[in-house]
């Protein structure tokens, strides 16, 4: 067969220089691997979130109302556009998690839990539905209860007693945070399911009545306007039967409550994915060019024995393809091994269901395309050049058409020889093939820039999260069963040892009143004293509250997202405890974006007056004498305060530490920062292997020169100096370029993150850590990548080195 | 004077050797090269191939030795083993009092740079630097000359091989014979006492070959020792001592052909 000896040549090329072949393979494979991982996460992540959420038949409309039993769901179901209706009762209480420890819990009940129609749940473990005096709890915050299936759980009754129910099952409810409250998924308390009978036993008032109506619509559930119109009719219908509607909210069937987070992750993935695709492309091109350069002589030989151009090209394209195919075989099965655990992590953190590892055609195709197309197109140019050079040029191993002694750079370098001829040799080597140098630099720069940017964004995001602590400066946050005189409570709390400062705060659950008079989203309105030192806001516009302000209000940035036209100085209408009141917006502050929902601050002085409770407060903020308490110490102080209040006949309905509030507020960011860390590691891996490969191949190309230098007396030290100079030079150049390129990349990444998280641009600063880390990595890798092949070369006898190809 | 003598740091320690061959006429004292039972086997897929089968050889300072033999006889192998470019499988190679067979690659490199000039059939010039720099390179690497001195010296060496006009060209821009002359100039850069050349004229026409031979003759007059592998019997007939290799063994060792 005519092809056989040529094919044999290709194979022996692969096997002949094992170290080099492995480097080429690793460089290509790591690029494919990164693309495979990113594509898999990009495809499977949102897919599972969307389909899993849609599979629960989520409500498109949620109506909150005062307890009602009129207006049967069957009646509302007649409203045009409504497909299904389910009446639900939510009750908030506390469950005991330790001797003096409590955690907030939302209890949900419906007439027939076994046949939930809307917002169905997935049974994770144990029994569903709960029977009498039994409870089933959602998995996400189950660890907060310190209970396992089979344990008894103490729930607090409205009168302050505790009653025990048995935890019989664990479910996953993908709808947490979709509607209730202003906090979204991460701020939602523990979710429990009980029957109406259990609710009655728990002494909740009127247990058979409902306070929430969940509805699905007929027709296009993706159409916001349509959903609004159906919701409006439902509200009118309810008001017609004298049900007092508190709020109405709509949501499409695919909009998982944490979709925004998923979008942030996808946006980052897209940026990084594209860059990594480029990176892999350059990596593959670079490596194959390195191979081609070493094959020039062989091409000459092939041509002297009569090989025609297409035959020469065929051989080397085949070689490139073979590398691509081998790399694909390595990378394709490896990528899911990493991608799926990451997806699993994300699904747990973001409360959706991972449907398990599967073949992801998009990822396989992306890898296959890169593995086949890229190597071939990357090899095409050098193969074409190689196939076209004359036999004489090829055999002498030098391209006569590009005599290297041309540019100003070379003349500059020659001038350097006063310092050391060896330095000139290494610099010449570096700049000899400018095309190759450029390719190597682009590869290394991309890898480094993506790493630096990812790391930088992550660190600045963490910095940002740490700033949020400024909203939770109190060590202990206490909520009482009703408003008490501040002086009285403050006096009592100050009797607890270790207490330095006490502030009485008001708060109110309010709803936005829209222009057409209808009620919109809930807003949690907090009212610290105007001069309170316990809140140090991150202002994005306007100012903070000042003593003497009347109906001034500062809004979280989420308002900007929902009402883009709302400006400082505008008036906002809120319904506060059934009264519609107008507020003047004095500023916008940044909290945790969509993670923390709609929240607003006004001054205690004004809100207490508005609620006819002057001098009284429901909420108290306690600061310890010793600064920087950890969560456990805060917990201990809180329990002491709670116990002391109880002894004096004052009922505490909630005690939460500042650290705990902070953690809840920033949980959503944790997912993101963990994920960014993962991406940073992934790009560092790709970049490092690319760097090592490119540099090692460079040095390997020098092997014959090392032999010559050896023959004329260069010592190990002198050789190492040459190789290291070159490695360090390339490393430093790429680092400088990476540092510059990292700016726009991290800008792009933090913009897309904040677009998803805050609905607008946010300013994340730069972090030097990424730059420093990459500098360290580049230096270390440059040394390793240069010294290893150089050491190999110095170990060989000169005869072996000189016959090296 | 053109070629300066550089003091080598030899300690002159006498080493007892088995039955030194008689010193030929014109030689002085101890042999410069001593090969004892040198065997070189190449590992090949078909098993070990013995390219040198027990070579004993003494070369004295000032000798001009020609090595001849059929292709495949082991000439290049002998030269490689002698210069430390390759290690012998068995036996000892001494140059002066240096045990070449037991030095590490690193020690070999330094020693070689200072005491030995090697000229290869395929030149092996550094392609990325000029001819002048190529000649300066050994001086730079071994540090025997100060910088200003080394450039001047390199220019003189290039003049000797009649290439000073091309000093700033790259190796790729000159002919093969010219490249070989640069390689000779480079081999002489550190003024070594011993010059080893593997078919230095193999690729050159007879006229050019003659020039190079003349350069060698002049070096012998200056007291250098030269070992030259050659196929050119007319050249071989003009050296003082000829060694003929057959199948890895010395078949003939005579004073002239
Ligand atoms: N690296 C090697 N591996 C295996 N065998 C080798 C190797 N190098 C040389 N040989 C064999 O050793 C023998 C001597 O080779 P050498 O190169 O010394 O011959 P030579 O006398 O220099 O020939 P020529 O005049 O053709 O240059 C030859 O038979 C050759 O095939
Ligand atoms: Mg030979």
Q: Please count the other Cβ atoms lying within 10 Å of the Cβ belonging to residue A560.
A: 19
At A592-642, the pLDDT tens digits run: 776 667 889 999 988 988 888 888 999 999 999 988 888 889 989 999 999
| The pLDDT value given to residue B93 | 94
- The answer to whether B225 faces chain A, any CB pair under 8 Å, is no
How many residues can be counted in chain B? Answer: 257
A36: pLDDT confidence band, cut at 50, 70 and 90? Answer: very high
Q: Is B43 in the pocket of ligand 1 (CB under 6 A)?
A: no
At A101-154, the pLDDT tens digits run: 788 898 999 888 888 889 899 999 899 899 999 999 999 889 888 889 999 999
At A220-267, the pLDDT tens digits run: 888 888 998 898 888 888 888 888 887 788 888 888 888 888 888 888
| The pLDDT value given to residue A57 | 92
| pTM for the model | 0.75
Question: What is the DSSP-derived secondary structure letter of residue B22?
Answer: P
Q: Whose CA is nearest to atom 25 of ligand 1?
A: B71
**Does the pLDDT value for residue A190 go beyond 60?**
yes
Identify which of A366-375, A460-469, A720-729, B67-76 has the greatest average pLDDT.
B67-76
| The pLDDT value given to residue A300 | 65
A399: pLDDT confidence band, cut at 50, 70 and 90? Answer: very low
Q: Count of H helices and E strands in chain B? A: 7, 10
Q: Is B49 in the pocket of ligand 1 (CB under 6 A)?
A: yes
Choose, out of A426, A713, A719, the residue to mutate when testing the contact with B (most B CBs < 10 Å).
A713
Q: Which two tokens stand for residue B60?
A: 């004295």
Give me the domains of chain B, ranges plus CATH numbers: 62-87+97-255 (3.40.50.300)
| The pLDDT value given to residue B91 | 94
Q: How far apart are CA A412 and CA A515, in angstroms?
A: 72
At A638-670, the pLDDT tens digits run: 999 999 998 998 988 888 898 888 887 777 788
| The pLDDT value given to residue A246 | 79
Mean pLDDT calculated for residue range A273-292: 77
Identify which of A351-355, A680-684, A687-691, A800-804 has the greatest average pLDDT.
A351-355
Average pLDDT of chain A, as a whole number: 82
Residue B117 has φ and ψ, to the nearest 5°, of -115, 130
Q: How far apart are CA B188 and CA B183, in angstroms?
A: 9
Q: Which two tokens stand for residue A473?
A: 């400066």
Q: How far apart are CA A752 and CA A200, in angstroms?
A: 48
Q: Whose CA is nearest to atom 3 of ligand 1?
A: B42
CA A14 to centroid of ligand 2, rounded, Å = 29
| The pLDDT value given to residue A134 | 94
Please report the ipTM that was assigned to this predicted complex: 0.73
The residue among B48, A124, A590, B65 whose CA lies nearest residue B82 is: B65
CA distances from B245 to A413, A449, B56, B231, B242 (A): 47, 62, 12, 12, 10
| The pLDDT value given to residue A805 | 47
Residue A187 has φ and ψ, to the nearest 5°, of -90, -10
CA A341 to centroid of ligand 2, rounded, Å = 60
| The pLDDT value given to residue A149 | 92
Q: How far apart are CA A414 and CA A427, in angstroms?
A: 9
Site to substitute for ligand 1 among B75, B199, B249, most atoms within 8 A of C-beta: B75
At A732-779, the pLDDT tens digits run: 999 999 999 998 888 888 888 877 777 666 666 677 888 998 899 888
Mean pLDDT calculated for residue range A341-356: 89
Torsion sign (Cα): A218, A221, A226, A231: positive
Above pLDDT 70, what percent of chain A?
A: 88
Distance from CA of B130 to the nearest CA of A (A): 8
Q: How far apart are CA A94 and CA A101, in angstroms?
A: 10
Q: Is B82 in the pocket of ligand 1 (CB under 6 A)?
A: no
Q: Whose CA is nearest to atom 22 of ligand 1?
A: B76
At B184-204, the pLDDT tens digits run: 899 998 889 999 998 888 777
8 A C-beta contact, residue A280 and residue A377: no
Q: How far apart are CA A163 and CA A46, in angstroms?
A: 41
| The pLDDT value given to residue A379 | 72
| The pLDDT value given to residue B28 | 58
- The answer to whether A420 faces chain B, any CB pair under 8 Å, is yes
| The pLDDT value given to residue B18 | 32
| The pLDDT value given to residue B12 | 37
At A296-338, the pLDDT tens digits run: 666 666 666 666 777 777 777 787 888 889 999 999 999 999 9
| The pLDDT value given to residue A1 | 37
**Does the pLDDT value for residue A200 go beyond 80?**
yes
Higher pLDDT, A415 or A277: A277
Ligand with smallest separation from the Cα of B77: 1
Average pLDDT of chain B, as a whole number: 82
B140, A705: Cβ pair inside 8 Å? no
Q: Is B42 in the pocket of ligand 1 (CB under 6 A)?
A: yes
Higher pLDDT, A727 or A293: A727
Q: How far apart are CA A455 and CA A676, in angstroms?
A: 7
CA B71 to centroid of ligand 2, rounded, Å = 7
**Does the pLDDT value for residue B147 go beyond 80?**
no
| The pLDDT value given to residue A541 | 86
Mean pLDDT calculated for residue range B34-44: 92
**Does the pLDDT value for residue B1 go beyond 50?**
no
Residue A274's contacts (CB-CB under 8 Å, 6 or more residues apart) are none
Which positions in chain A touch B133 (Cβ < 8 Å)? 414, 417, 421, 424
| The pLDDT value given to residue B64 | 93
């Amino acid at each position: 067969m005519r092809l056989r000896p040529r094919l044999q040549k290709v194979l022996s090329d692969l096997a002949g220089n094992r170290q080099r072949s492995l480097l080429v393979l690793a460089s290509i494979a790591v690029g494919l691997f990164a693309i495979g991982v990113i594509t898999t996460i990009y495809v499977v992540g949102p897919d599972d979130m969307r389909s899993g959420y849609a599979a629960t038949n989520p409500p498109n409309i949620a109506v909150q109302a005062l307890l009602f039993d009129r207006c049967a769901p069957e009646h509302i179901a007649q409203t045009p556009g409504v497909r299904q209706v389910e009446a639900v009762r939510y009750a908030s209480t506390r469950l005991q998690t330790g001797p003096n420890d409590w955690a907030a819990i939302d209890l949900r009940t419906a007439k027939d839990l076994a046949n939930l129609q809307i917002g169905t749940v997935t049974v994770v473990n144990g029994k569903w539905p709960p029977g009498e005096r039994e409870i089933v709890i959602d998995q996400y915050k189950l660890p907060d209860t310190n209970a396992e299936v089979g344990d008894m759980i103490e729930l607090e009754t409205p009168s302050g007693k505790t009653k025990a129910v048995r935890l019989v099952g664990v479910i996953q409810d993908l709808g947490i945070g979709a509607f209730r409250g202003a906090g979204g998924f991460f701020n939602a308390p523990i979710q429990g399911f009980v029957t109406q009978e259990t609710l009655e036993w728990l002494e909740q008032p009127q247990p058979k009545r409902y306070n929430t109506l969940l509805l699905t619509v007929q027709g296009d559930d993706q159409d916001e306007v349509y959903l609004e119109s159906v919701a409006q009719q439902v509200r009118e219908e309810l008001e017609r039967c004298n049900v007092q509607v508190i709020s109405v909210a709509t949501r499409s069937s695919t909009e998982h409550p944490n979709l925004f987070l998923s979008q942030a992750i996808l946006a980052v993935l897209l940026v990084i994915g594209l860059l990594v695709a480029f990176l892999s492309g350059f990596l593959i091109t670079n490596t194959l060019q390195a191979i081609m350069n070493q094959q020039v002589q062989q091409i000459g030989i092939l041509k002297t024995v009569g090989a025609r151009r297409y035959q020469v090209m065929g051989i080397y394209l085949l070689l490139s393809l073979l590398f691509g195919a081998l790399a694909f075989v390595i990378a394709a099965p490896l990528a899911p091994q990493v991608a799926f655990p990451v997806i699993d992590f994300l699904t747990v953190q973001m409360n959706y269901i991972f449907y398990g590892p599967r073949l992801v055609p998009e990822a396989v195709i992306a890898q296959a395309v890169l593995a086949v197309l890229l190597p071939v197109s990357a090899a095409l140019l050098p193969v074409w050049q190689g196939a076209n050079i004359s036999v004489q040029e090829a055999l002498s191993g030098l391209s006569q058409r590009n005599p290297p002694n041309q540019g100003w750079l070379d003349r500059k370098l020659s001038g350097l020889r006063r310092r050391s001829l060896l330095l000139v040799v290494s610099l010449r080597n570096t700049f000899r093939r400018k095309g190759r140098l450029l390719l190597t630099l682009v590869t290394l720069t991309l890898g480094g820039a993506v790493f630096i940017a990812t790391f930088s964004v992550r660190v600045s995001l963490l910095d940002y999260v740490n700033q949020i602590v400024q909203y939770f400066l109190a060590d202990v946050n206490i909520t009482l069963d009703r408003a008490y005189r501040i002086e009285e409570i403050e006096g009592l709390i100050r009797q607890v040892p270790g207490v330095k400062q006490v502030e009485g705060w008001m708060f109110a659950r309010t709803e936005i009143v829209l222009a057409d008079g209808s009620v919109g989203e809930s807003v949690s309105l907090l009212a610290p004293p105007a001069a309170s030192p316990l809140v140090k806001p991150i202002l994005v516009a306007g100012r903070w509250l000042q003593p003497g302000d009347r109906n001034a209000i500062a809004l979280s940035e989420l308002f900007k997202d929902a009402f883009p036209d709302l400006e400082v100085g505008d008036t906002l209408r809120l319904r506060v405890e059934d009264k519609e009141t107008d507020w003047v917006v004095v500023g916008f502050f940044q909290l945790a974006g969509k993670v923390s929902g709609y929240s607003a601050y006004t001054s205690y002085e004004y809100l207490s007056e508005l609620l006819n409770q002057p001098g009284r407060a429901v909420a108290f903020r306690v600061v310890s004498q010793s600064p920087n308490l950890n969560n456990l110490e805060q917990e201990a102080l809180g329990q002491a305060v709670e116990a002391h209040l109880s002894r004096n006949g004052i009922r505490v309905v909630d005690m939460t530490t500042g650290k705990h509030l902070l953690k809840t507020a920033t949980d959503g960011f944790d997912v993101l920062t963990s994920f960014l860390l993962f991406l940073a590691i992934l790009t560092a891996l790709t970049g490092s292997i690319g760097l090592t490969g490119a540099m090692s191949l460079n040095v390997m190309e020098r092997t014959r020169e090392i032999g010559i230098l050896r023959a004329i007396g260069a010592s190990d030290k002198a050789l190492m100096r040459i190789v290291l100079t070159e490695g360090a030079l390339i490393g430093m150049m790429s680092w400088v370029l990476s540092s510059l390129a990292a700016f726009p990349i991290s800008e792009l990444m933090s913009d897309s993150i904040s677009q998803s998280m805050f609905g607008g641009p946010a300013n994340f600063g730069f972090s030097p850590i990424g730059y420093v880390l990459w500098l360290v990595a580049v230096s270390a890798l440059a040394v390793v990548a240069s010294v290893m092949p150089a050491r190999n070369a110095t170990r060989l006898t000169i005869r072996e080195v000189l016959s090296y190809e | 004077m053109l070629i300066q003598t550089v003091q080598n740091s030899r300690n002159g320690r006498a080493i007892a050797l088995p039955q030194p061959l008689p010193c030929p006429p014109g030689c002085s004292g101890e042999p410069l090269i001593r090969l004892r039972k040198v065997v070189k086997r190449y590992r090949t897929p078909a098993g070990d191939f013995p390219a040198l089968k027990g070579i004993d050889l003494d070369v004295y300072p000032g000798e001009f030795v020609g090595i001849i033999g059929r292709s495949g006889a082991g000439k290049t192998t002998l030269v490689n083993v002698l210069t430390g470019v390759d290690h012998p499988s068995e036996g000892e190679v001494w140059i002066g009092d240096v045990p070449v067979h037991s030095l590490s690659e690193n020690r070999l490199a330094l020693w070689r740079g200072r005491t030995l000039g090697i000229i290869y059939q395929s030149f092996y010039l550094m392609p990325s630097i000029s001819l002048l720099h190529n000649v300066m390179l050994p001086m730079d690497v071994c540090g025997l000359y100060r910088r200003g001195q080394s450039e001047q010296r390199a220019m003189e060496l290039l003049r000797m091989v009649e290439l000073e006009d091309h000093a700033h060209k790259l190796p790729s821009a000159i002919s093969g014979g010219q490249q070989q002359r640069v390689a000779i100039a480079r081999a002489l850069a550190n003024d070594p006492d011993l010059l080893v050349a593997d078919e230095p004229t193999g690729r050159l026409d007879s006229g050019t070959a003659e020039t190079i031979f003349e350069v060698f003759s002049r070096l012998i007059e200056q007291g250098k020792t030269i070992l030259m592998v050659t196929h050119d019997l007319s050249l071989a007939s003009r050296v003082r001592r000829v060694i003929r290799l057959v199948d890895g063994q010395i078949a003939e060792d005579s004073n002239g052909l």
